[in-house]
Amino acid sequence: MTPSDTLSHPFPEQTGDAGSRRSAAGELRETPDSAPVEYRTATDLAAALVARKISSLELVENAIAYIEAVDEKINAVVVRDFDRARDAARLADAKLHRGARAPLLGIPITVKEHFHVAGLQTTWGNPAYHEWRSNIDALAVQRLKAAGAVLLGKTNVPNQNGDWQSYNDIYGTTNNPWNPAFTPGGSSGGGAAALAAGYVPLELGWDGGGSLRTPAHFCGVFSHKASLNLVPLRGLSPPDAPIVPRRDEGAAIGPMARGAIDLELALSVVAGPDELSDGVGYNLSLPPARHAQLADFRVLMIDQHPLCPTSDSIRIALNDMGDRLSKAGCTVLRHSPKLPDLALTSQVFEKLSFAKRSAKLLPEERTEIERRARELAPHDHSLVACMLRGYLISHAEWVALCQLRDDLRARWQALFEDVDVVLCPPFSVQTFKHDHSPMLSRKIEINGTSRHYRCDLHAWAGIANMIGLPSTTMPIAESNGLPIGMQIMGGFLEDRTTLGFAALVELDFGGFRPPCCSPTRRNS
């Protein structure tokens, strides 16, 4: 396979997002007639609302009509709150008329199903919680609403958020807008599908091991996994768990959008310490992006992982982007002596990730895992082996792994003394066809080899989770009619650097464009 056989670049002859174009001076300018309202960015729509070119109620009614007309085939927005959304839109219009301003005032959004939202189902896709409704908003949802966002509803997830696909026995299967035979990814697959389909300009998700980045890659949209604990997690808990301030050692909340500028807008709204915990004594002050010009960035590109192959189409797209960045003036490195051990980073992530889940194992599940672990060869350090051993580690082993994780975090932070961003795949393959067979029996084919579905595919995503790094994913190409994304990792709490880099790449080389099967794309 060669790049010319299957690979294409978003907007090869024009740059900017679907609602804007690049001027001769290089800046993005709003062009209201350049894209249908379904594919405008939140930033453009906010400006149009302030200028009274459109009302919030018009945006909301348009989104509702579009969802009702299209979503039967996609099944992305599975919990709908349309009546309250209309009321919120009317209130937003009244505020705008009085001259009120807020970052998201009047903008329709969706959030992932597992966020608590007062009055709405919060099931995590688990039939045991089918009728459960929350009586409180998650803190991040509260902040979005306080910034003026109008919540249309909640988007689909896999059962317990534990799959690379988004289906469950409550809401059914979500399809990829690029091709309904393919998955939009998981666990934030419903949100990515809603964005790609043009329902809303913003979605709020969560990422414990690729749950934002994988769906963004599969659906050709943008996402940002924030630095560890940058966005408070209160109200992001199973239905039967107490809603209290909490921290995590890997998972992070983050926005999804169709452009980097909207990711930064949404992050600025939801980031900051929980007022009931760290916020008692701390304020947030993120550093600015390291550079304002693309040519000033020092980039390290990685396209191979020692524990899992990466599909040829993704490696071709990533390396082609490296060549384009080099021509644009970036310093592009393919190797660095400071790069920490990728295998060790992923192995520690896998063990700690599944150790955290061990308390909820059923007795029969533990018995089966113990049986499989006994069959492992002593020298087997695959991610499957790490998963099995992680479920069964002792407290002493857990303490040692936590110490090793802290050491790896220091090594990764040292890498960012020499480079500004690390570019790598978000996932080892492009989106794949729906597969609802038993999880542990699933396999995924990568370049002609069969790999373990659940564990091997954690290879790229687990790095940013384990180290706590910010990671922005953006679309960079298409192959065989399906999108390909790029993961941009930066130093801890340097979220503005990864977002700024993504915005500059989008400006020079393009970003989101509607799925090939959408009416907008067919007519372009």
Q: What is the pLDDT of residues 435-450, one digit of tens each?
A: 999 998 999 999 999 9
- Checking if the pLDDT of 31 tops 80, the result is no
The DSSP symbol for 280 reads G
What average pLDDT does range 100-127 have in this prediction?
98
Question: Is 382 known to be catalytic?
Answer: no
CB atoms within 10 A of CB 398: 16
Confidence of residue 96 (pLDDT cuts 50, 70, 90): very high
Please give the helix or strand (H or E) that residue 423 lies within, else none. strand 421-424
* Token pair listed for 407: 């050491």
- Checking if the pLDDT of 22 tops 80, the result is no
Percent of the chain with pLDDT over 90: 89
Question: Is 211 known to be catalytic?
Answer: yes
Q: What is the pLDDT of residues 222-264, one digit of tens each?
A: 999 999 999 999 999 999 899 999 999 999 999 999 999 999 9
Confidence of residue 386 (pLDDT cuts 50, 70, 90): very high
Question: Is 112 known to be catalytic?
Answer: yes
Q: Which of 20, 55, 56, 112 is catalytic?
A: 112
Q: What is the pLDDT of residues 192-220, one digit of tens each?
A: 999 999 999 999 999 999 999 999 999 99
d(CA 229, CA 366): 31
Q: What is the pLDDT of residues 140-183, one digit of tens each?
A: 999 999 999 999 999 999 999 999 999 999 999 999 999 999 99
Please state the pTM of the whole predicted model.
Answer: 0.93
From residue 473, alpha-carbon distances to 60, 210, 211, 515 in Å are: 27, 10, 11, 17
The DSSP symbol for 275 reads T
- Cβ atoms of 12 and 505 within 8 Å: the answer is no
Architecture of domain 37-336+419-509: Alpha-Beta Complex (3.90)
Confidence of residue 79 (pLDDT cuts 50, 70, 90): very high
- Checking if the pLDDT of 221 tops 50, the result is yes
Q: Which of 20, 187, 237, 311 is catalytic?
A: 187
Q: Which residues, 6+ apart, have CB-to-CB distance to 406 below 8 Å?
A: none
Q: Which of 20, 211, 223, 518 is catalytic?
A: 211
Whether omega for the bond prior to residue 187 falls within 30 degrees of 0, making it cis, is yes
Residues of the chain with CATH 3.90.1300.10: 37-336+419-509
What average pLDDT does range 40-58 have in this prediction?
98
β partners of residue 332: 299
Residue whose entry in the numeric block shows the structure tokens 């699933």: 442
